[in-house]
Amino acid sequence: MRENLLLEEAQEVLLNQARPLGKTLVPLMEAFGRVVGQDIRACDNVPPFNKSPLDGYALRSHDTRKASPLNPVRLTVREEVRAGCMPGQEVVPGTAIKVMTGAPLPAGADAVIKYEDVKEGENCLEVYQPLKAGGNIIQAGDDITQGELVAPQGSLVSPALAGLLASLGLSRIPVFSQIRAAIVSTGDELMTPFEPLVPGKIYNSSLYSLEARCRELGALPVILGNVPDRVEAVAACLQQGLATADIVISTGGVSVGDYDVVQDALSELGAEIIFWKIKMKPGSPLIAALKDNKIIIGLSGNPAAAMVTFDLVAVPVLKKMMGQNQLLPGKTKAVFLDRFDKPSPERRFLRARLHRRNGMDFVRLTGEQGNGVLKSLVACNVLIDVPAGSGPLKTGQQVNAYITGNINESYQQDFRSSLMRIAY
Ligand code: AMP
Ligand code: MG
C-alpha cells in the first residue's frame, strides 16, 4: 500500500483503474445530461434543401443584371410557396416565385430579394437593383453538412446538442450507461435528519452533499445510510455497496483514531488497498481500494474535507466511468483579494469564490476554512491551491485555483462592494 500521495498521483492511480461501463440507446430527451457513447455523424444535411431566409421573391439573378431605380426589371410572379410546402413550378427567365421564410427555393432560382426591396403589382413585381447569384439563400447543409461529426463520443448532451440531434431526426441516442455510486456514512454519532437529535449525536450532512453532487453529475446514488464504527458492520455495508453499485464512496473512519475502522473493514473484505492519505488539507486521510474490479474511496468524515476530496479525487473517477472526456476540474489563475494569515507547511485548498471585474479575475475566501466547516462551501466555486511550504497569503498576490462550482454566477455579480471592503 502506498502512502502520502500527491493529489495528482492519487488522481492518476484511480483514473488508471476506472473504466466506462456499457453503452445503451435512449430516447432523445433521456439523453439530455448524459454522455454520448459513440461519435455521432450527421446522416443528412441540415437544412436538407436550399431555402429562403426571408419573405420575398425567388428569381434568376441573370434577369436582374441591368436593373436600376430608373430602369426597373419587371418579372411575372408564377406562384407562392409557404414554409413546409414544395414549389409546383420552376423559375424560368422573366419570372419569379413568391417565397416565405423557410420555404424551399424553387428550381431555376438562384437568388431571393426581400419584399421591402421590390414594388409588387398584380401577379408581377419590379426589381430596382442587380442581385448576385446565391444572394439570400440558405444552402442545404448550411447548419450541418452530411457526414459531419456533430457529437464526439464523450460529449455531454446539452440543450443545444439535444436540439441539434433532433434537427437530424435522431430520436434514440447512444449514451454511456449511468453509473451507480453507493454512499456509506460511517460514524456512531450520525443521525438522519428526520430523527430527533439525541445528546452527543449529530445529523449526517456529508451524505446529502455527496448524494446531491452525484445527482448533479448524472450518477445514480445508492444510499446505504449510516453505519456504526464497527469493523464487521462497515465491511458488510461496503460489501452491500459493491453488490449494488459500480463504485463505493464512504465517509468517516479513515484516520488513525481507535474507532477509525474503514481500513480494517477493507482488509476484512479482502479488498486491495491502493493507497492511504494524500498530501493536502483538508481531507488528507483518504483511502482507496479495489475489490471485484470496483473502486472504493473512503473520504474523511469532516463534511468540508469530504466534499473537497470528493470533488478533487472522486469526481474525475466518476466522470471517467460515465465516459466523459473532461475529467479533471478546470484550473485558473486569479488575484487573491482577501487575507489568509496561516502558513501552509502542507498543500492546502481554500474554499473561495471567483469574481470578475474589468476582465480581471479575483478570488475571495468564502468563510472559515476548518475541516468541519461546511458553510464556506455553499458560496465556494473555486478551490485555491496553496502549495506546500507557503507563508501567509498576501492581498493582491496571484494564486492558482481549481474550478469546482458554477463560475457563471460569479461573472454576473457586481464586484464593487467587495472591492470597497478591501480598500477601506
Ligand atoms: P471521522 O473522519 O470519522 O474521524 O470524522 C471526523 C469528523 O467529522 C467528526 O467530528 C465526525 O463527527 C464528523 N463526521 C463524520 N461523518 C460525518 C457526516 N456524515 N456528516 C457530518 N459530520 C460527520
Ligand atoms: Mg468517525
| Residues 99 and 215 occupy one common structural domain | no
Same-domain pairing of 171 and 185: no
Pocket of ligand 1 (CB under 6 A): 185, 187, 189-190, 202, 204-207, 251-253, 255, 257, 300-303, 372
Reported in sequence order, the residue ranges of 167-255 that DSSP labels E, i.e. its strands, are 172-176, 180-186, 190-191, 202-203, 220-227, 247-251
Q: 197 with 264, same domain?
A: yes
Ion ligand 2: residue ranges with CB closer than 5 A:
187, 252-253, 301
* Ligand 1, pocket-test mutation among 192, 206, 227, 250, most atoms within 8 A of CB: 206
Q: Which atom of ligand 1 is nearest to the CA of 186?
A: 16
Domain CATH code at residue 33: 3.90.105.10
How many other CB atoms are found less than 10 A from the CB of residue 20? Answer: 18
- Which of 192, 251, 263 to mutate to test ligand 1, by most ligand atoms within 8 A of the CB atom? 251
CA of 280 to the centre of ligand 1 (A): 18
Dist. CA 397 → ligand 1 center (Å): 34
Written as nine digits, the cell of 117 is 426591396
Q: Whose CA is nearest to atom 12 of ligand 1?
A: 189
Q: Domain check: are 375 and 412 in the same one?
A: yes
3-class secondary-structure state, position 203: strand
**348 bridge partner residues:** 281, 386
| Longest distance between any two alpha carbons in the chain, whole Å | 99
Q: Tell me 205's DSSP state.
A: -
Q: Whose CA is nearest to atom 17 of ligand 1?
A: 301
The Å distance, Cα 251 to ligand 2 centre, comes to: 8
Residue range of the domain that includes 335? 331-423
- Mark 85-108 as b/e (b = at least 16 C-beta within 10 Å): eebeeebeeebbbbbbebbbbbeb
Q: Do residues 328 and 8 lie in contact, with contact meaning Cβ atoms separated by under 8 Å?
A: no
Report the C-alpha gap between 92 and 347 in whole angstroms.
77
User: Looking at ligand 1, which residue's alpha carbon is closest to its atom 8?
Assistant: 302
CA 64 to centroid of ligand 2, rounded, Å: 84
- 182 belongs to a structural domain: yes
Which ligand has the shortest distance to the CA of 309?
Answer: 1
Please indicate, yes or no, if residue 135 is contained in any of the structural domains.
no
- For residues 162, 168, 171, 176, the Cα torsion angle rounded to the nearest 10 degrees is -60
Determine, yes or no, domain membership for 17: yes
CA of 350 to the centre of ligand 2 (A): 23
Distances (CA, A) of 412 to 21, 24, 51, 204, 318: 38, 38, 39, 33, 30
- Spatial separation of the C-alpha atoms in residues 361 and 289, rounded to whole Å: 38
Atom of ligand 1 nearest to the CA of 189: 12
CATH number of the domain where residue 343 is located: 2.40.340.10
Ligand 2 centre to CA of 241 (Å) is 19
Please tell me whether residue 76 adopts helix, strand or coil conformation. Answer: strand
Measured from the CA of 185, which atom of ligand 1 is nearest?
19
How many domains does the chain divide into?
A: 4
- 14 in a structural domain: yes
> Do 272 and 256 belong together in one domain?
yes
Do 299 and 388 have their domain in common?
Answer: no
> Alpha helices of 102-158 — where are they, by DSSP H?
none
Q: Is residue 362 one of the residues assigned to a domain?
A: yes
Cα-to-centroid distance, 422 and ligand 1 (Å): 35
What DSSP letter does each residue of 246-307 carry, written as one string? Answer: SEEEEES--SSSTT--HHHHHHHHTPEEEEEEESSBS----EEEEETTEEEEEE-SSHHHHH
Judgement on whether residues 36 and 6 belong to the same structural domain of the protein:
no
Question: What was the pLDDT predicted at 375?
Answer: 95
**Position in ligand 1 atom list of the atom nearest CA 285:** 2
Same domain membership, residue 380 and residue 312: no
Q: How far is the centre of ligand 1, averaged over its atoms, from the C-alpha of 213 (Å)?
A: 18
Which phi and psi angles does 5 have, rounded to 5°? -85, 155
In a domain, 385, yes or no: yes
Number of H helices, E strands in the chain: 11, 24
- Shared-domain flag, residues 149 and 272: no
The verdict on 148 and 41 lying in the same domain is: yes
pLDDT computed for residue 358 by the predictor = 80
Tell me how far apart the alpha carbons of residues 303 and 189 are, in angstroms, rounded to a whole number.
14
- Per-residue pLDDT for the chain (424 aa), expressed as one digit of tens each? 899 999 999 999 999 999 999 999 999 999 999 999 999 999 999 999 999 999 999 999 999 999 999 999 999 999 999 999 999 999 999 999 999 999 999 999 999 999 999 999 999 999 999 999 999 999 999 999 999 999 999 999 999 999 999 999 999 999 999 999 999 999 999 999 999 999 999 999 999 999 999 999 999 999 999 999 999 999 999 999 999 999 999 999 999 999 899 999 999 999 999 999 999 999 999 999 999 999 999 999 999 999 999 999 999 999 999 999 999 999 999 999 999 999 999 999 999 999 988 888 999 999 999 988 999 999 999 999 999 999 999 999 999 999 999 988 888 765 555 555 555 5
Residues 6+ apart with CB under 8 A from 257: none
Mutation test residue for ligand 1: of 192, 202, 310, the one with most atoms within 8 Å of CB = 202
Kindly report the backbone phi and psi dihedral angles of residue 322, in degrees, each rounded to the nearest multiple of 5, phi listed first: -80, -5
Residues 29 and 65 in one domain: no
Residue at grid coordinates 457563471: 408
Q: Calculate how far, in angstroms, residue 390's C-alpha sits from the geometric centre of ligand 2.
A: 30
Pair (244, 258) in one structural domain: yes
d(CA 31, CA 29): 5
118, 70 contact by CB (below 8 A): no
pTM (whole model) above 0.75: yes
The x, y and z cell numbers of residue 167, run together, are 434537427
Nearest CA to ligand 1 atom 7: 302
Q: Is 311 helix (H, G, I), strand (E, B) or coil?
A: helix
108: domain CATH number is: 2.170.190.11
Query: Comparing C-alpha atoms, which of 288, 323, 296, 206 is closest to residue 242?
Result: 296
pLDDT score for 34 = 96
